[in-house]
Amino acid sequence: MPLNLLKKYPELLEIAHMSEADRNSSLYAIFNRDFVQNDNLYFQGKKVRPIKGEDGAIAMDVLFQHLTTSSDKEKSSLNRNARTFEMARSCRLHWIRYHIDKSAGKGVKIFSCEERDQKRRKDVIRTYIFDVDQKYVIILEPQRSGNDYYLLTAYYLDRDDGKKQIEKKFKQRMKEVL
């Protein structure tokens, strides 16, 4: 488990061989280092905070779930918050801090766009950090105050339509990053 704490971008975490308990422990150690105990996570001079907790959930717990699991469409009819562990997201967990800290780089597109939030039924602005070469995206939402960001999620674009969706958003981007 401690070996994963030494992994750097673009290496992948070694979690496939672990039991669920060991895997979660290893992932949470990285999450704890990069987010919980890190008061200096800033993107473009704005503090990056966890998404708000839903239904009384603790914000950091919700964020950890969003960064290591994906929505389970089959189970969501029974439980609207059903999520399933996702290996591709999880083995790249340590990439998030790297991209936020060193966001401007070769092969990285940073942009904001307005889109419809189906859950809240309103238009919102989202900021994307898109690593084109690694097919990886991090999604931030500027707070209403304009002083901070919420870290919503991050994931590997393992399907062709995912990359096309991000490219479409890039074409519809705003003139400036918010």
Spell out the per-residue pLDDT of the chain, length 178, in tens.
578 999 999 999 999 999 999 999 999 999 999 999 998 999 999 999 988 766 656 788 889 998 999 887 655 555 566 789 999 999 999 999 999 988 667 889 999 999 887 777 888 899 999 999 999 999 999 988 888 999 999 999 988 788 899 999 999 999 998 8
- Evaluate whether 46 touches 109 at the Cβ level (below 8 Å): no
State the pairing for strand pair 148-156/46-50.
Answer: parallel
Residues 6+ apart with CB under 8 A from 53: 59, 61, 62
- Evaluate whether 62 touches 54 at the Cβ level (below 8 Å): yes
Is 23 within a domain? Answer: yes
Is 111 within a domain? Answer: yes
The reported pLDDT for the residue numbered 81 is: 66
- Evaluate whether 44 touches 32 at the Cβ level (below 8 Å): no
Is 159 within a domain? Answer: yes
Each residue's pLDDT tens digit, 118-134: 777 888 899 999 999 99
Is 15 within a domain? Answer: yes
Q: Residue holding tokens 């503090």?
A: 47
Is 177 within a domain? Answer: no
The reported pLDDT for the residue numbered 58 is: 76
Is 119 within a domain? Answer: yes
Domain count along the chain: 1
Residues 6+ apart with CB under 8 A from 52: 59, 62, 150
Is 62 within a domain? Answer: yes
Q: Rounded to whole angstroms, how far apart are CA atoms 33 and 135?
A: 24
Domain limits for position 124: 2-171
* Cα-Cα end-to-end distance for the chain: 37
The reported pLDDT for the residue numbered 83 is: 82
Is 116 within a domain? Answer: yes
- Evaluate whether 128 touches 99 at the Cβ level (below 8 Å): no
Tokens of 65: 């779930």
